[in-house]
Amino acid sequence: MADVVLVTGVSRYLGGQFARALTKDPSISRVIGVDVIPPPHDIGRTEFVRADIRNPMIGKIIAQSEVDTVVHMNVIATPTHAGGRVSQKEINVIGTMQLLAACQKAPSIRRLVVKSSAAVYGSSPRDPAMFTEDMGPKSLPRAGFGKDSVEVEGYVRGFSRRRPDVEIAMLRFANIIGPGIRTSLTDYFTLPVVPVPLGFDARLQLVHESDAIGALLASTSGPSGITNIAGDGVITVTQAAALAGRPVVPVPLQAAGVFGGFIKRSGLADFSSDQMQFLAFGRGLDTTRMREHLGFEPSYTTRAAFEDFTRAIGPAVPGAPFVGSALSGLAGNAAHVIGGALAAAGRNR
């Protein structure tokens, strides 16, 4: 179906991986990768074009190479990767506007795939346990990446009104995790001590990076519409910290702003206010449509994806695994001894 595919954000980790996977499909004759810097990793037979999607020049590229499918992956979730929040917002919002304006002028476009995020659902105590695609947020994300995603989706909706002939697939990804990708969530769980909101233990739903690429591939030539992409099951924040072998320190939610700012300035991880909300209240996604409509089955559950990530990161502090195993060994020993004593008592009687 797709013949000439244009991928934006190809020099970022996920974009590059996706472009490379796309070139393995023989039915696609050309893959054009666009980004502002040359890709640092192998992108297969993708033709790299150095262009900024915030610049109208992108329209010329689309027209010249008669692109029929555009995969928009240049929506950046982590401000540190984009060079600050201002730059991140510019790339996300203005970049999407320019790209969609160029797509609207190009008659060759038949399909648009947008990598959106589950951040559009926000995170609040009044949320339903699982969001389906047609539910709106209970509290609109007011800042950061969530707000960008809402705006990006708004522009895509506008585009679909003006070009009804173009099929649009919008994928709302849960937090993507894996051994290779770096996001604010992976930075967070790489901290030697993980600060968690006091008295809250949110549910996290994750998707493995390979599944994210698989879902994008499936929707490049598959059905259109809005789809949630997430792994099965949930884990809680403290459970995740335990799996990563990190001790947790509870922080009152009111002090989280100060604390998050401190961590942000020290360059350890990126903590925006919406991230703190997310860590307090969590989010779950209903993936029925992913299975039935898109026909995609993720190969990693949430827990398996997180465990794959924890294998890639080391222990937090030297000796942490030793202390951990000593503690659990202590508990195990105690249980063992008690069991032995019980058996002895049973014999005596």
Binders of other proteins among residues 184 to 243 (CB under 8 A) are 187, 190, 197-201, 203, 233-236, 239-243
Closer Cβ to other proteins, 101 or 242, answer by number: 242
Euclidean distance between CA atoms 191 and 312, whole angstroms: 14
Least distance CB 68 / other proteins (angstroms): 27
CB 292 → other proteins: shortest distance, Å?
15
Sign for the pseudo-dihedral over CA of 82, 83, 85, 88: negative
Of the candidates 92, 97, 83, 74, which has an alpha carbon nearest to the alpha carbon of residue 14? 74
* Distance in Å, CB of 3 to other proteins, minimum: 29
Measure CA 5 to chain center.
Answer: 22
Phi, psi dihedral angles at 35 (to 5 degrees):
-165, 175
Smallest separation (angstroms) from other proteins to the CB of 63: 22
> Given the rule CB under 8 A, which of 57-65, 150-158, 221-229, 318-326 is the region that contacts other proteins?
318-326
State how far the Cα of 214 lies from the Cα of 28, in Å rounded to an integer. Answer: 16
Q: Within positions 277 to 306, which residues make up the interface with other proteins, using CB under 8 A? A: 281-282, 284, 303
CB of 222 to other proteins, least distance (A): 25
CA distance linking residue 256 with residue 321, whole number of Å? 28
Task: Considering the complex, state which of residue 1 and residue 129 has its C-beta at the smaller distance from other proteins.
Answer: 129
Considering the complex, state which of residue 166 and residue 316 has its C-beta at the smaller distance from other proteins.
Answer: 316
**Rounded (10°) angle between helices 144-162 and 95-105:** 10
255 touches other proteins (CB under 8 A): no
Instruction: Please give the structure tokens belonging to residue 8.
Output: 């934006």
Distance CA 2, CA 238 (A): 43
How many positions of this chain bind other proteins (CB under 8 A)?
Answer: 75
Please identify, using beta-carbon distances, which residue of 1 and 341 lies nearer to other proteins.
341
How many Å apart are CA 10 and CA 33, to the nearest integer?
5
Sign of the C-alpha dihedral, residues 133, 145, 44, 57? Answer: positive
Q: How many residues can be counted in the chain?
A: 349
Smallest gap from residue 47 Cβ to other proteins (A): 18
- The answer to whether 330 contacts other proteins (rule: CB under 8 A) is yes
Applying the rule CB under 8 A, the residues between 39 and 58 that interact with other proteins are: 41, 52
Residue span 80-119 as binding mask against other proteins, x where in contact by CB under 8 A, dash where not: xxxx---x---x----------------------------
Contacting range for other proteins; rule: CB under 8 A; set: 106-114, 148-156, 219-227, 317-325: 317-325
Residue 63's CB: how many other CB atoms inside 10 A? 15
Residue of 286, 236, 285, 283 lying closest to 124 (CA atoms): 283
Single out the residue of 44, 107, 125, 158 in contact with other proteins (rule: CB under 8 A).
125
| Among 129, 143, 193, 255, contact with other proteins (rule: CB under 8 A) | 129
For other proteins, the closer of residues 69 and 302 by Cβ is: 302
Residue 257 sits in the site that holds other proteins (CB under 8 A):
no
- Candidate segments 36-44, 56-64, 144-152, 216-224, binder of other proteins by CB under 8 A: 36-44
CB of 214 or CB of 231, closer to other proteins: 231
Longest dimension (CA), the chain: 90
CA dihedral 43, 47, 49, 52 (to 10 degrees): -50
Query: Which of 178, 109, 345 is CA-nearest to residue 100?
Result: 109
Burial 46-62 (b: 16+ CB within 10 A, else e): bebbebbbbeeebbebb
Stretch that binds other proteins, among 23-31, 105-113, 216-224, 324-332 (CB under 8 A): 324-332
Of 1 and 323, the one with the shorter C-beta distance to other proteins is: 323
